[in-house]
């Protein structure tokens, strides 16, 4: 039986994931949903944010639906998200951004660069190492080519004018793409951030290293209407995790007003990944119909609650 690990996490993760999980349950009552508690609330209750047993349980499932976890207020525990990505080998972060003239997909390298955890803090100096490897670049470039298949083109974002590591990244990524027959262009990441805002229609699939992808996808989120709308897939050779791009949003948590669209669209991506295209399409269309009616949460200027929006989507299914 197909088993989905469901991690609500913290903050609004506990509000949007139940809505997303309900839609999934309605579409796939035959799939087993396995709840897993991770994050800050779990740490407060038990003194551990995530342990080996959780990782084994999550790994044993066919996919993970993930909300968001709050980072430790004073670094009491290392990042749960980074640990999950590392342990599950989730090296590719796929972030589609749709809205207005914008229909692009950011493919973000998810395991290297500045987020690999090679850091030293000394008395008068702090250092974070940014390592980009050939193997890591080749595999993310191959993933980007798979995403770009059947689309227009692949743009490689980088800072090769300044950073040697980016010249390395750019060259390898270009080679992989030309080997796969995928046309590419490239752009400096700073100029690219502005251009994506001004002329989104010029972009299709954008390949970037870890931190550039983190920033670029939030920038592009402007076109979609904000963070509350953006889903993502984190893919590896053997595991797959689907989550909103947003975090636990402590500023609005507990008020029942978080936008559940990012979480619902993460379920669309999960269904697609597991090969259930009909249900993915049904859910996507049901979300669109409610949005088109203008029945939206306060971040989009409406008055709908998280649960009311979810109920409307589920009713449409």
**Tokens 């989104």, residue located:** 200
Q: How far is the CB of 155 from ligand NAI (least distance, A)?
A: 24
Q: Which of 96, 18, 12, 139 is nearest to 280 (CA)?
A: 96
Two tokens, residue 223: 């076109």
Pick from ligand NAI, Mg ion, none: which does 214 bind, CB < 5 to 8 A by kind? Answer: Mg ion
Nearer to ligand NAI by Cβ, of 28 and 246: the residue is: 246
Burial of 99 (0-12, 13-18, 19+ CB in 10 A): middle
Point out which residues pair with 50 in neighbouring strands. Answer: none
Q: Of these, 107, 148, 208, 252, which contacts ligand NAI (CB under 6 A)?
A: 252
The Cα 302–Cα 297 span in angstroms is: 5
Point out which residues pair with 235 in neighbouring strands. Answer: 92, 240
> CB-based contacts of 277: which residues, under 8 Å, 6+ apart?
271
Residue 141 found at the interface with ligand NAI (CB under 6 A): no
Residue 107 found at the interface with ligand NAI (CB under 6 A): no
Q: Of these, 214, 243, 279, 299, which contacts Mg ion (CB under 5 A)?
A: 214
Pick from Mg ion, ligand NAI, none: which does 186 bind, CB < 5 to 8 A by kind? Answer: none
Two tokens, residue 114: 């500045």
Taking CB atoms, the residue at the shortest distance from Mg ion is 214
> CB-based contacts of 73: which residues, under 8 Å, 6+ apart?
40
Pick from ligand NAI, Mg ion, none: which does 251 bind, CB < 5 to 8 A by kind? Answer: ligand NAI
* Residues contributing to the site for ligand NAI (CB under 6 A): 12, 16, 68-71, 81, 227-228, 243, 246-252, 258-259, 262, 299
Binding footprint of Mg ion on the chain (CB under 5 A):
214
Residues annotated as catalytic (active site), given as ranges: 115, 159, 190, 214, 218
């Amino acid at each position: 039986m197909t088993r989905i690990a469901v991690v609500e996490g913290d903050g609004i993760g506990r509000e949007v994931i139940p809505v997303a999980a309900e839609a999934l349950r309605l579409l796939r009552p035959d799939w087993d949903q396995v709840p897993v508690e991770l994050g800050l609330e779990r740490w407060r209750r038990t003194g551990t944010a995530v342990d080996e047993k959780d990782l084994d349980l999550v790994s044993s499932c066919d996919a993970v639906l993930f909300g968001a976890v709050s980072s430790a207020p004073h670094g009491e525990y290392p990042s749960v998200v980074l640990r999950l990505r590392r342990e599950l080998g989730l090296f590719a972060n796929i972030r589609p951004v749709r809205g207005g003239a914008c229909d692009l997909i950011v493919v973000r390298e998810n395991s290297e660069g500045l987020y690999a955890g090679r850091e030293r803090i000394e008395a008068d100096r702090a250092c974070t190492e940014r390592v980009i490897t050939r193997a890591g670049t080749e595999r993310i470039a191959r993933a980007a080519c798979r995403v770009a298949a059947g689309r227009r083109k692949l743009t490689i974002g980088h800072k090769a004018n300044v950073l040697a590591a980016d010249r390395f990244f750019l060259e390898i990524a270009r080679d992989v793409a030309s080997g796969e027959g995928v046309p590419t262009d490239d752009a400096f990441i700073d100029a690219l951030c502005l251009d994506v805002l001004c002329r989104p229609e010029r972009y299709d699939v954008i390949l970037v290293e870890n931190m550039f992808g983190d920033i670029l996808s939030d920038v592009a989120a402007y076109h979609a209407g904000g963070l509350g709308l953006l889903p993502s897939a984190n893919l590896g050779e053997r595991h797959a995790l689907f989550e909103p791009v947003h975090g636990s949003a402590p500023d609005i948590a507990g008020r029942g007003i978080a936008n559940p669209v990012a979480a619902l669209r993460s379920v669309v991506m999960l269904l697609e990944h597991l090969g259930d295209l009909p249900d993915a399409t049904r859910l996507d269309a049901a979300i669109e119909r409610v949005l088109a009616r203008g029945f939206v949460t306060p971040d989009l200027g409406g008055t709908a609650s998280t649960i009311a929006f979810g109920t409307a989507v589920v009713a449409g299914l």
